Structure 1
Amino acid sequence: MKRYSIYILILIITGITSCKKGFLDIEDPNGPAKTTPDKMLTNVLRQALELQATAGLPTSTITQQLATSRLTTPNVDNWVDLGAVNYEFQNNYFFVASNNEAMMQWATEEGSFAYVGIGKLIKALCYAYTTDLFGEVYYDEANKEIAQPKFNTQDYVYQQILGLIDDAEQQFDKPSFRTVGDEDIFYGGDLNKWKKFGFALKARLLNHLSKKPNYNPQEVLSLIDKSFQDRSGEPIFIYPGPYPDAHPWSPDGNLPSSAKTWNKYFVNLLNGEGMNGVRDPRLEKIVNPGSDGVYRGVTNGITKDGLNPELIGSLWGKFYTSENSEYCLLTFDELKFIEAEAAFRTGDKMRAHTAYKSAITNNLQRMGVGIAEQNTYMQSAAVAQNPASLSLKDIMIGKYISLVFQPEIWVDMRRMDYSPQIYPGLAQPPGANPALKGAWVRRLPPFSTEIDYNKAQVEAIGGLAPDYTGKKVWWDSAN
């Protein structure tokens, strides 16, 4: 990966940011090529947030939370040009891994094992996102002096990722030369919280294997029991704003596009059309109304649904899209939905229902919904009212609404095979990529630089086939 190594030294030298400066401010472009791990951790954690946010751009379009609002980018909506939004591949290898690998190496050399543990969890998180999006990825030969690295299979990468999480827990138990402090933007150096995050992350990844014959929902539940038990344990960061410290999904962030707006499928779940006629109190927290006061989204692949532009509310300035919005690597809401699904699969519908209700309640509270509105919604037909009536559809739709811009939603839709029994009313966009021959998109295409500089390896995994994005990733089948 020789072409990558050119960037590694540049990023190590220039990627060290100061907590007192803006997000993208450089500490010293001509500074030393080696530093201490405490000087690198903040940047590693923020780049992990950026990777997750960038991954949410294509996945939120595929899952129909977002849609295109102008004529210039419909090919993203209909999966013809997904390669235009797959920069999370380079984000992992260039921006996160290059700095994170150096941080872990230097931390190991000086015996600062707390930083090694955090680094391993971040590596596991970012490689998980990368392989979940692309399938086969570089692992063994990544970030090394190898010009044409070979891809590793996803099952192998998963083994390595799960091993990283286990090893991180051991690193936290070692004496550490350097104590983690405020440079840890999530937990302020609380290693017990990092341990609990590791259990949550492992639960998430093992739950991805629901199609596999060795899927063990009881193991998922055991990990959740050891993880954080309320929102105080979340790895969360509130962007201070404004630019360059604005939330990635805000107008001043790194991802804004005037071409994006809310999807009709998503908005209809909130405005009551898709939830037994119940209007969700989160609607006003997430979506802006059009000039006529109506909350509406647009259909993937149909520019503005033929509406006047002023009738489509702006994407910006709401709970998920303000410059000082919060952003979280893994929310307590998500953890409870994972618990609900795993418990449901074991047949423990009592535990599943309790976790399901807790997940929705916590999401309502997170968004500042008032107590009276919370109670009304929780007692409505939009929510399963008892364990006997709870279905997998209830759990997955509740999760879909609660995890906006989160790449995990695309993992869920693939695990559920985009089933209309789970996601009622979900349909392929008009003009869906004809190369897929009616199949749903299952992965992102190879990153363009890999086709340019490592074509033989891309060909070896079938990455140049026109229907490659319809090929299931490893965890997406029982084989």
Structure 2
Amino acid sequence: MKKIYTLFVAATIIISSGCKKYLDINTDPATPQDPESRTLTPPLFAQMERGVQFDSRYLGGVIQYFGGAVNVGESHGWIPSSDSGGEIWRTNYYGLGANLNLIIDKSTAKTEWNYVGLAQALKAWSWQITTDYHGDIILKEAYEPNRYVFDYDSQPDVYAEVVRLANLSIANFSRTDGTGTVGKLAPADLIYAGDNAKWIRFNYGILARNASNLINKANYDPAKVIEYVDKSLTSNADNFIVPNLGTTATNGNFFGPLRANLASYRQTRIIVGLLDGTYLVGTPGAVIDPRRNNMITASADGVFRGTAPNTSDGGTAAAKNQIPNPWGVLGSANPGPTFGKYLFKDNAGFPIMTYSEMQFIKAEAAFRSGNTTLALDAYTKGISASIDFVSALGTAITSADKTAYLTSAAVKQTAATLTLKDIMLQKYLALYAYGFVETWSDLRKYNYFDGDSKGNNPYLGTFFFPTSFYADNGGKPIQRYRPRYNSEYIWNLEALKKIGGDQPNYHTFKMWFSQP
């Protein structure tokens, strides 16, 4: 025993004097303990995509981008004691959150202002989409150390923070001093390859969304919305698209066949109706949109069909199986790797913001300000850009087909005939399968089809509710998703109770931005 003790003491002396690293359990040579901003940045883009796509499984049913009676989303419901519908929350506080704070701190110390600006832009985007999805969220106390209970902040506070961060990001991307170079940022910037000008435009796009949602407020300023849009994305070349390699299920698009997440989902009647003239002209088949074959699929008999909310189109599995899924095959068949269509291919990138969306935001603002000539111009540019975007994702749409559609009865030709409904329905179509939260924000700010504070109701007669709402809804549509269950309902329930988050119908409480 004495020999063993002596050897232990000797070993301890040797280790403590010359080999401390062998006992340093807080150091992992395979995992950097002080990571650089360039190593933290690329995974953040995947987090943005992940949050929206995971939650789209439920929200997609609410806004009728997806159908097939797959889950409670189509009946505007929620799943108690579940994290379902809580991925955007996770993205904001866990996937992005502290990582963005770390980039800001480290890059500020190094005067890498472009990295600081990038992190601030992603924070602005994240706060905006999280509050538009959840309503009241945790803002001011979110990252305070040694805190275990977090109070919620109201939407006006979050909206103001988005504006502050976006403007800070613009200022940092505009700086010419410091050590932040394109060469340093480009390898980590999977979106804009270090192009400061494009990041500035993205920030203005965030500001445009933020200001556009305020149509029910006294301080809504359509001129400011138009100003933001004019400083935002200038063409499809500026689109913010998260790339997916698509060679394996690990690096493939969440919507693609390799991931196999959408087998039970179906294309919807409203998308079919927007593409065949039903809702834009008033007659099914009157004008066939050239985007149709790229975006959706015909049944085996050549007829384009879609589901109604919370139904399987006729109430039987056989009927449902006659309607294609988003990959473009009947029933729940999986076409296999490298197949699929539109944004449902394994290697398809996921859009976070597009030029087309910005033009429709401008068209809406111009129309609301009474400048119908400007509204018509932006509306037409939005449709044109959407056609080009869809064309690039599948069979090329010819110039002749594009021109034929743009001059058809489905597209208003004069400022005098243009309506708000025309603008909002074309925007709804253009954002299909990626602008889930933005489309939902539009539907809610116009109170689905009840109209906004001035009585405008562009979705009346088009957007339809399910035959019955979820039991907790009291006959009302969903207005928000609840905070993530595992973090909030288990650990932060008392704070949730202060805003009514413990109530079974909390998800039907109207958002701040949708109320006068």
TM-score (norm 2): 0.83
Q: CA deviation at 1:271?
A: 2.8
Corresponding residue pairs, total: 447
| Aligned mates of 1:328, 1:44 — CA distance in 2 | 14
Q: CA deviation at 1:226?
A: 1.9
SS of equivalent residue, structure 2 residue 266: strand
Q: Is the 8 A contact 1:268 1:296 kept in 2?
A: no
Q: CA deviation at 1:48?
A: 1.8
Match of 1:151 in 2: 152
Aligned-pair Cα RMSD in Å: 1.9
Q: Is the 8 A contact 1:290 1:310 kept in 2?
A: no
| 1:429 to 2:460 alignment | no
Give the stretch that moved more between structures: 173-182 or 319-328.
173-182
In structure 1, stretches of 5+ residues that fail to align are 1-27
Q: CA deviation at 1:39?
A: 1.2
Match of 1:223 in 2: 228
Match of 1:312 in 2: 323
Picking from 445, 450, 454, the partner of 2:492 is 454
- Counterpart of 1:300, as a letter, is P
Q: CA deviation at 1:199?
A: 1.2
| Aligned mates of 1:221, 1:425 — CA distance in 2 | 27
Percent sequence identity is 26
Match of 1:326 in 2: 349
Q: CA deviation at 1:173?
A: 3.0
Q: CA deviation at 1:239?
A: 2.1
| Aligned mates of 1:172, 1:446 — CA distance in 2 | 33
| Aligned mates of 1:187, 1:342 — CA distance in 2 | 28
Picking from 416, 421, 432, the partner of 1:393 is 421
| Aligned mates of 1:453, 1:215 — CA distance in 2 | 37
Picking from 250, 258, 266, the partner of 2:256 is 250
Q: Is the 8 A contact 1:63 1:410 kept in 2?
A: yes
Q: Is the 8 A contact 1:229 1:332 kept in 2?
A: yes
Match of 1:290 in 2: 299
Residue by residue over 1:221-277, the C-alpha shift from the partner in whole angstroms, topping out at 9 and shown as x without a partner, is 112222232222222244221222222221234x82322221222222223333323
Match of 1:473 in 2: 511
Match of 1:8 in 2: none
| Aligned mates of 1:446, 1:225 — CA distance in 2 | 34
Q: Is the 8 A contact 2:356 2:386 kept in 1?
A: yes
Q: Is the 8 A contact 2:77 2:469 kept in 1?
A: yes
Match of 2:407 in 1: 379
Give the stretch that moved more between structures: 76-85 or 111-120.
76-85
Q: Is the 8 A contact 1:264 1:298 kept in 2?
A: yes
Q: Is the 8 A contact 1:74 1:302 kept in 2?
A: no
Q: Is the 8 A contact 1:288 1:318 kept in 2?
A: no
Match of 1:339 in 2: 362
Match of 2:215 in 1: 210
Q: Is the 8 A contact 2:59 2:73 kept in 1?
A: no
Match of 2:477 in 1: 440
| Aligned mates of 1:228, 1:263 — CA distance in 2 | 30
| Aligned mates of 2:48, 2:462 — CA distance in 1 | 34
Q: CA deviation at 1:307?
A: 5.2
In structure 2, stretches of 5+ residues that fail to align are 1-27, 328-339, 392-396, 451-456
| Aligned mates of 2:173, 2:407 — CA distance in 1 | 43
Q: CA deviation at 1:55?
A: 4.1
Picking from 56, 71, 75, the partner of 2:72 is 75
Moved over 4 A (4+): none
| Aligned mates of 2:153, 2:442 — CA distance in 1 | 23
Q: Is the 8 A contact 1:52 1:129 kept in 2?
A: no
- Counterpart of 2:484, as a letter, is F
